Amino acid sequence: MNSISLNEKFAISGFVSIADASPGYPIIQISNSHASASISVHGAQVLSFQPKGEEDLLWVSKTAVFAEGKSVRGGIPICWPWFGTHPDAEMPAHGFARNRFWQLTAVQQDEHGSTEVMLCLEDDEASRLLWPHAFELQLRVSVGKVLSLELTMVNSSKEVVDLTAALHSYFNVGDIAGAAVRGLDGAEYIDALQDSRRFIQLGDVRFDAELDRIYQQTAGDEFIDDDLRGRSIRLQKSGSNSTVVWNPWIAKSSRMDDFEEGGYRRMVCVETGNMGEDVVRLEPDAAHTLGVTISAESARAASV
Ligand code: TA6
């Protein structure tokens, strides 16, 4: 993977350039009239999205590692073809798509001044050792006033496959004490910290300890309210009927070398996906698209 050749093929002067975060680890840097953003070709992982006049909506740990085989701690890792741990402990958590270099296939400016980036991943000998099926993944990212991601998964195999997946988004908050996730009131969730027992969400989700929940039957808009910054981040979903909310808090985050000290106070994961009972079953040659649109609005406007 060579950022020099990628630049020659895909750079757009004044809008898109590609440079290495570490040798052989290209990052796509985007700056247009609406926002700036960055996307690593490894894992097709959006790392930042900063609309003009806003602080970055995404969080990345200051001690994140940029190396093949491991997703960057933060941004929007892609969990596929399974979410969470695998029954076989030898298999990587959250699948393998986030741990590999993808192919950058297209970069363009659209008529509204947004920047579109397409990346894809197909099965190969290595992937088939982990998951014995032919597939094609395509991620379309649009960077404009809002950030849109569309992950299309194609079952190129001759078998019926069951998939779980997530756009595992880490959002930037001023301080976790003043953060809340709104839009899940009344939803049933599976609590990963209470032996996967089920509960009903009452009101907004607030944080005062480790929290790790899979909310089911959640297809509507969700909001991350950030009191300190006086803003809300709105999530509009497509192809998703489940949501994970996660904060590792002190003990769990301190056990992760790539999680900066105290970082748990400045982030919350609200993950758009097909998780828990929201399994995607694809017949041969069938496809599914999982999408999220992320935007910032002032908290006052959002509460109207
Ligand atoms: O989405 C929540 C979760 O499943 C947590 O249980 C935690 O494991 C988190 O994902 C991060 O997983 P990772 O493998 O990226 O450290």
Residue 259 Cα to ligand 1 midpoint, Å, equals: 12
Beta bridge partners of residue 19, listed in sequence order: 27
CB 131 within 8 A of CB 125: no
Pocket test for ligand 1, best of 72, 73, 76, 94 (most atoms within 8 A of CB): 94
> Two tokens at 111?
């008529």
User: Whose structure tokens read 């097709």?
Assistant: 44
Residue 77, helix vs strand vs coil: coil
**Chain position carrying tokens 């497509």:** 238
Q: Which domain holds residue 223?
A: 3-303
Q: Residue 13 to residues 18, 30, 41, 119: CA-CA distances in angstroms?
A: 11, 10, 19, 20
- Indicate whether residue 92 lines ligand 1 (CB < 6 A): no
Ligand 1 atom showing the smallest separation from residue 166 Cα: 1
CATH of the domain at 99: 2.70.98.10
What's the confidence (pLDDT) of residue 194? 98
Give pLDDT, residue 298: 82
DSSP assignment, residue 144? S
Task: Copy the structure tokens of residue 76.
Answer: 């929007």
Q: Is 271 in the pocket of ligand 1 (CB under 6 A)?
A: yes
How far apart are the CA of 113 and the centre of ligand 1, in A? 35
Report how many domains make up the chain: 1
Torsion of CA 54, 150, 170, 90, to 10 degrees: -160
Residues of the chain falling short of pLDDT 70: 1, 299-304
Calpha distance 223→241 (Å, rounded): 16
CA angle 252, 254, 256 (to 5 degrees): 80
Dist. CA 227–CA 178, nearest whole Å? 5
Residue 69 φ/ψ region, left for φ over 0, alpha for ψ in the -120 to 50 degree band, beta for the rest: left
Identify whether the C-beta of residue 76 lies closer than 8 Å to the C-beta of residue 170: yes
Tell which atom from ligand 1 comes closest to the C-alpha of 244.
1
For residue 190, the cross-strand partners are 198, 214
Give pairs for 149-152: CB < 8 Å, separation 24+.
Answer: 149/46, 149/76, 149/291, 149/292, 149/293, 149/294, 150/238, 150/289, 150/290, 150/291, 151/78, 151/80, 151/289, 151/290, 151/291, 152/287, 152/288, 152/289
Q: Is 212 in the pocket of ligand 1 (CB under 6 A)?
A: yes
CB 166 within 8 A of CB 45: no
Nearest-atom number in ligand 1 for the CA of 269 is 1
- The residues assigned a catalytic role are 168, 271
What order do you get walking across the sheet with 222-226 strand by strand?
Answer: 103-109, 115-122, 135-143, 147-155, 287-298, 231-238, 222-226, 179-182
Question: Is the C-beta atom of 213 inside 6 A of ligand 1?
Answer: no
**75 CA distance to ligand 1 centroid (A)?**
13
| CA distance readout (Å), 203 to 141, 145, 182, 200, 303 | 32, 29, 7, 10, 14
Q: Is 91 in the pocket of ligand 1 (CB under 6 A)?
A: no
Residue 51 near residue 296, CB atoms below 8 Å: yes
Q: Is the shortest distance between the CB of 259 and ligand 1 below 6 Å?
A: no
Cα 137 from Cα 129, distance rounded (Å): 17
Global confidence as pTM: 0.97
pLDDT at 1: 64
The rounded distance, in Å, linking the Cα atoms of 304 and 301 is 5
